[in-house]
Amino acid sequence: MTTFYLAVACILLLISSLLLRKANTVSRFLSLCVFIIAVMCFIAVYGAIGGVFIGVAAALLMGLVTAFALGKSVSSN
């Protein structure tokens, strides 16, 4: 069950990062809701204090991975 919670939380963090790529209000609100659900999954695995720290660190990491994988390349002229 622990592996399931961790997998779901990481997938939800990835979805949250992808939703933030759109700049409209609805996708930002959905991204926040998905992030809160992901943190709840981490809290279920690691406990209250550890879950929040792991959730925030994993969100930053997933955001970086999403930016590197799907970011636009900038060409200098």
pLDDT in tens, 24-69: 778 888 888 888 898 888 888 888 888 888 888 888 888 787 777 7
CA distance 36 to 3: 19
pLDDT at 74 over 80: no
Query: Residue 52: its pLDDT value, please?
Result: 83
Q: Is the pTM of this model over 0.85?
A: no
Mean pLDDT, to the nearest integer, of 14-30?
A: 81
Q: Return all residues near 51 (Cβ < 8 A) that are at least 6 apart.
A: 39, 40, 42, 43, 44, 45
